[in-house]
Amino acid sequence: MGFESGSLSFHAFYLSKDFVPGDVEKFAARPLPPLKTLTGDQPLHGWAGPLHALDQDLSEAHCWRGDWLWLAHVTARKAVPPSYLRATLLSELEVERRARGVEFLPRAAKTEVRERVAEALLRDAQPAFGSMECAIDLRRRLLLATALTDNALQLLCPFFRETTGVMPVLCCPESAAYRLRGVDANALEPLPLTPNPAVQPPAQPALGEEFLTWLFHRWEKESAVFDLEGQRCGLLFEGPLTFSADDAPGCHETLLRNGTPLDTPELGTALWNGKRLRRAKLTLTRADWVVTATLDAQDFAVRSLKIVEPKGEAAPGAEPDALQGLPSRNRPGAAPEAPAPKRKLDVDERLDRAAFYLEALLHLYGQFLALREDPAAWRAALAPLHAWVKTRAGQD
């Protein structure tokens, strides 16, 4: 599964109470029901262990990894491939037409055949699984879940509340603003991020897009480093970049990809015309932690998060660090050096790095909110941002 290897894509949720490893018993009480109870197209819902959709081990020893409870919400339903259903239906309709000796079947007959075929195929169909990985952070009252669509959110959140008595609250720009600084997003004054006099202020502030645009300006013109809990951290923007504004004239979205999207003149044109940065590839670092993901500013969805694996321990007999950087030709008789092996991270280490990414992001978002909630401070912060947009757009 994604939390254990490969890239991670997830939403984060706030939880209103602390969880402990023993709380996994609540999930064990709501397992995925036996597949033999599947009837028709009605799905089954339940919790499973983290390894696969049929992992029935929901014990504390199996699901507790470091500071995380790791499990999965599983949906099972009988499903017939649409192409097979259509081919079978057309075949049965032709058989019915010939049996009746008519040129065209009446509507009622077609409906009867369609229902009969669908019921027969569903009766013998194999179950199809849908699985959403979930990881509860036992330190931060957070839930990370691979629920990215609205349908997935509507399925997961109520079932999580039924299981634990806690309703997960999506960590989005609006909820995070209230949690971090008690800011009501609807009460903020909407102001354009461009000095273009032809652009009117938006009807409502788009906090997430304003934040990502502000952060992009800060990274490019001010500083790429920041402090988090006394540790020095860094950030880096990469393409592709997506700019959008629902109220912009003409095209509402601009996608910059391939080549050097951070240096292209189209970037300045998008900003000048009132578009804000909606999605970007953002790398956050701390010490030897390097985490890269595509951030969606509209709902703080983290997509394709990749973690740089740390180097493993030096092999016995390896040369000291002072010699490892020297070319082989400077050390007569030295064999070419093999690259240092990388150590595979455990799932809790990967989740810790994903939590760091979210924590650093919200820390920067809190700095943005400190400006955004103060009208005077925000207008002062807009002055250099407007000058940057004007320069980027070649309007000097």
Residue written as token pair 């909110």: 369
CB-count burial class (<10 Å; 0-12, 13-18, 19+) for 40: exposed
For residues 264 and 258, the answer to whether their CB atoms sit within 8 Å is no
The mean per-residue pLDDT over the stretch 336-343 comes to: 64
Quick one: residue 101, left, alpha or beta (phi over 0 = left, psi -120 to 50 = alpha)? left
The predicted structure's pLDDT at residue 78:
87
d(CA 340, CA 363): 33
Write down the number of H helices and E strands in the chain.
11, 13
The dihedral sign for the CA sequence 286, 292, 296, 301: negative
> Would you say residue 267 has pLDDT above 60?
yes
pLDDT tens, 99-151?
999 989 999 999 999 999 988 888 888 888 889 999 999 999 999 999 999 99
> Would you say residue 316 has pLDDT above 50?
no
Backbone angles phi and psi of 202, in degrees to 5? -65, 160
Quote the tokens at residue 172. Answer: 């989005």
pLDDT tens, 47-96?
999 999 889 999 999 999 999 999 999 999 888 889 999 999 999 999 99
d(CA 16, CA 27): 17
Quick one: residue 250, left, alpha or beta (phi over 0 = left, psi -120 to 50 = alpha)? left
- Tell me the Cα Rg of the chain: 27
Mean pLDDT of all residues belonging to the chain:
89
% residues pLDDT > 70 (the chain): 92
Quote the tokens at residue 209. Answer: 């897009």
d(CA 215, CA 221): 10
The mean per-residue pLDDT over the stretch 304-313 comes to: 82
pTM for the whole structure: 0.85
Q: Please, which residues have CB within 8 angstroms of residue 24's CB and are 6 or more apart in sequence?
A: 58, 59, 60, 63, 64, 69, 71
One DSSP character per residue, 307-338 reads: EPPPB-PPPTTPPPHHHHTS-GGGSTTPPPPP
The predicted structure's pLDDT at residue 68:
97
For residues 49 and 63, the answer to whether their CB atoms sit within 8 Å is yes
- How many CB atoms within 10 Å of residue 300? 23
Q: Please, which residues have CB within 8 angstroms of residue 66's CB and are 6 or more apart in sequence?
A: 346, 348, 349, 351, 352
Instruction: Give 380 or 123, the one with higher predicted confidence.
Output: 380
